Chains A and B, each alone.
Chain A
Amino acid sequence: MRTDLISRRLFLSSVAKATVAATGGAALASCLSQHLTELPRETLLARLSELKAELKAKHGKDATVSDKGPMPDVVFGYALDLSRCVGCRRCVYACVEENNQSRDPQIHWIRVQQMDKRKGVDFAHADPYYQPEKVPEEGHFYVPVACQQCENPPCVKVCPVQATWREQDGIVVIDYDWCIGCRYCMAACPYGARHFNWSEPALPSEAFNATTHYLGNRPRPKGVVEKCTFCIQRTREGRYPACVEVCPVGSRKFGNLLDPKSEIRYIIENKRVLVLKAELNTLPKFFYFYGT
């Protein structure tokens, strides 16, 4: 059931596994997939408290690990005003702080591409490593790219173990406990949105954001893939993603695509809107627009 996050989730802890093996025998065990979509609630709760204990031991903070599911009648959409973005990269670092990315090596879920106004949106001539004294630079504009939360996500299609899927509210999530680290999704993603933990992620305890979500910003282990989740730990509580809050020029807009009175709907209906690589039919829910 896609609507109820609670009823999905998590594979058995080793204790539960042993219990099944000991008491149920092969017949019972064979009907129990350990994929989280088919797991009982108790198993999930056990895993969540296990995670909290691990985080407490590691970072000395009382963390919350939410498993909040999608809200009814909500599909999240994002819009970014290309005419306002100045390329300051505050969103990049606010995202890192909010989502507990590794600081060494640095993992960024948002990549800001500097582009040439004469060439338009053209990745072949984009520069993600621009380092001027001051932004924006004359003759340039900026295209921040993160997960486009595709309605038709190629990454989900290719995952050999169904470790990643699209939730009812449109967010494409990854179960970090299930991902085998084959990186097929990274090859399939047309937006470079997926990032791999090439080594043990380094997250200093003082930087650890203890308000986490199981499918979102809880710290990830080595060897799995991660990506933007529209700040699932915030947005499912009715808050804005961290990048929206931090943007100093108000170029980032976020809301419910199903609400006809939302700002995001107004933008889509009234502004000049584009999606990246539209020809690939990925149907992003991340829109770029020209506000002015």
Chain B
Amino acid sequence: MSYKITEDGNIATVHLDGEIDMDVTEKAKEIIMPLIEGGKEVHLNLKEVQYMDSSGISVLIESHQKAAELGSRVVLKEISKSVLKVIMMAKLEQILIIE
């Protein structure tokens, strides 16, 4: 997994790339959580994520819940077809913020 972060005002966009599994979830959290805790609205661009398992989905849930707790939000952008399929399998398309 690789990533790139761009910031525009209060919005931090994290472009994730590659496969997100148990082996990289800690790294993903280390990237995303400080942005949320720093008060940013975080946009996760998932266009280049070809694979995500339940561990990756857990990162999305945890990020979403942390942001909500702090009065902010995490928005999922340009979700790849394969990741969207897993989000839907977990019945999270109505819970997570998808734009």
Q: Do A and B bind each other?
A: no
